[in-house]
């Protein structure tokens, strides 16, 4: 079980977390961005004296077997033992890949996640999913294994660009929809385009608590953890569609786009309130703009959804809602309904 700490004093919390993890050596995994922007924030902490940094390429393109092999090699050459500790300092790519490297090196060493992007704070760094991309498929190889600690320090968001902030916020919107009307209302009243970081820190804490509750109930995604897939069936198809056109969109943008047609399906099939769907559509269109799909793209998008690894027996699996927090997993839809939902996405309210 991992401990999630909402940071007030990063030095004190990290020092205590390190002390709690029996270790001989410390390795800090960074990417080419976080070694410059985030490592300087912690590198002079006395508890990190003598720590070895390992740096890999930034962004999802570096989430590869080559990168992980490089990490294992650095651990080996740096004298890591079964009692060494790894600290993953970065976004979701670093916490996923670093978590996998740590979980497999000498059959597993302890690791601590310090997520530095909003997306990794509210999603990737919590819940024990680790892994890498392989054979052209995202997160194809990996294991479930919790970090000992996740330390969430919104100070790091000060250097995060606007698009990545919006991207992370989409997962928070999702957490709002699967939790309570109060949490949802607070999220859509917040201006993520001009964020007050103190308020955001409190909302991040609430958001992560939603994920923690779900993961605690179903750590290996046999049932209710599928609630976290809201917006992702359509969202992953949009993400792959954009990638194939060499116009990639950030993951959270794709999720935000995916929430629109999936809420349309929820209104049609599980009585989700129309007015909440309208609020969501208005907020998403204002913050994330639009993805320029046409009806000629529907067959490809449906083919992408059909091959999503969340499905069983090739039947497209949706997580829908009967209301805010009223989660309906394992829903299906007819082709005509999916096409209608995509029409709605294109044409709006």
Tokens of 13: 């919390």
Instruction: Kindly state the smallest distance separating residue 229's Cβ from ligand GLY, in Å.
Output: 7
- Rank residues 32 and 139 by Cβ distance to ligand GLY and give the closer one: 139
DSSP 166: H
CB atoms within 10 A of CB 161: 9
Under a CB-based contact definition with an 8 Å cutoff, are residues 134 and 141 in contact?
yes
Tell the smallest beta-carbon distance from residue 215 to ligand GLY (Å): 7
H or E segment at 319?
strand 318-323
Number of helices (H) and strands (E) in the chain: give both, helices first: 14, 10
For residues 123 and 146, which CB has a smaller minimum distance to ligand GLY in the complex? 123
- Least distance in angstroms from the C-beta of 127 to ligand GLY: 4
Distance CA 15, CA 303 (A): 49
Cβ proximity to ligand GLY: between 75 and 208 the closer is: 208
How many degrees, rounded to 5, is the angle at CA 49 between CA 80 and CA 130? Answer: 45
- Output the six-digit token pair for 88: 């993953």
Instruction: Read off the tokens for 118.
Output: 């909003």
Taking the complex as a whole, the smallest distance from the CB of residue 154 to ligand GLY amounts, in Å, to 20
129 or 269, CB closer to ligand GLY? 129
CB of 185 to ligand GLY, least distance (A): 23
**Residue closer to ligand GLY (CB basis): 279 or 311:** 311
- Which tokens is 183 given? 């949490």
Taking the least distance from each CB to ligand GLY, the nearer of 123 and 262 is 123
The residue among 53 and 319 lying less far from ligand GLY, judged by its C-beta, is 319
User: What contacts 15, CB < 8 A, 6 or more positions away?
Assistant: 45, 46, 47
Give the single-character DSSP code of 49.
T
Residue 319 exposed, middle or buried by CB count within 10 Å (0-12, 13-18, 19+): buried
Burial of 329 (0-12, 13-18, 19+ CB in 10 A): middle
C-alpha–C-alpha distance, residues 97 and 142, integer Å: 9
CB distance 172 to 204 below 8 Å:
yes
Q: CB 325 → ligand GLY: shortest distance, Å?
A: 17
Provide the minimum distance between the beta carbon of 5 and ligand GLY in the complex, in angstroms, as a whole number: 19
Report which residue's Cβ sits closest to ligand GLY: 228
Of 46, 233, 60, give the one whose Cα is nearest residue 137: 60
Which parts of this chain interact with ligand GLY (CB under 6 A)? 123, 127, 129, 225, 228
Shorter beta-carbon distance to ligand GLY: residue 129 or 166: 129
């Amino acid at each position: 079980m991992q401990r999630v700490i909402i940071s007030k004093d990063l030095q004190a919390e990290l020092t205590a977390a390190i002390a709690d993890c029996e270790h001989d050596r410390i390795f800090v995994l960074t990417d080419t961005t976080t070694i410059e922007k985030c490592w300087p924030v912690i590198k002079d902490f006395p508890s990190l004296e003598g720590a070895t940094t390992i740096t890999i390429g930034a962004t999802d393109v570096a989430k590869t077997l080559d990168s992980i092999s490089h990490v294992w090699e650095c651990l080996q050459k740096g004298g890591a033992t079964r009692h060494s500790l790894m600290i993953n300092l970065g976004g979701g790519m670093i916490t996923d890949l670093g978590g996998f490297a740590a979980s497999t090196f000498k059959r597993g060493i302890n690791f601590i996640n310090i997520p530095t992007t909003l997306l990794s704070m509210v999603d990737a760094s919590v819940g024990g999913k680790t892994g890498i991309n392989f054979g052209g498929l995202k997160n194809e190889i990996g294991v479930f294994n919790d970090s000992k600690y996740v330390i969430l320090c919104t100070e790091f968001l000060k250097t995060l660009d606007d698009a990545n902030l919006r991207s992370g916020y989409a997962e928070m919107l999702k957490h709002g929809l699967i939790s309570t009307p109060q949490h949802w209302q607070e999220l859509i009243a917040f201006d993520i385009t001009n964020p007050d970081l103190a308020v955001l820190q409190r909302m991040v804490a609430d958001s992560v608590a939603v994920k923690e509750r779900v993961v605690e109930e179903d750590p290996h995604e046999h049932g209710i953890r599928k609630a976290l897939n809201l917006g992702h069936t359509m969202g992953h198809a949009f993400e792959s569609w954009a990638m194939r056109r060499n116009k990639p969109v950030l993951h959270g943008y794709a999720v935000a786009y995916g929430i629109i047609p999936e809420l349309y399906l929820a209104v049609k099939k599980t009585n989700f309130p129309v007015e909440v769907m309208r609020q969501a559509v208005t907020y998403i269109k204002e913050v994330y703009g639009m993805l320029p799909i046409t009806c000629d793209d529907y067959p490809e998008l449906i083919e992408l959804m059909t091959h999503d690894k969340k499905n069983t027996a090739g039947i497209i699996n949706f997580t829908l809602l009967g209301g805010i927090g009223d989660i309906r997993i394992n829903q299906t839809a007819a082709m005509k309904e999916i096409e209608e939902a995509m029409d709605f996405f294109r044409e709006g309210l």
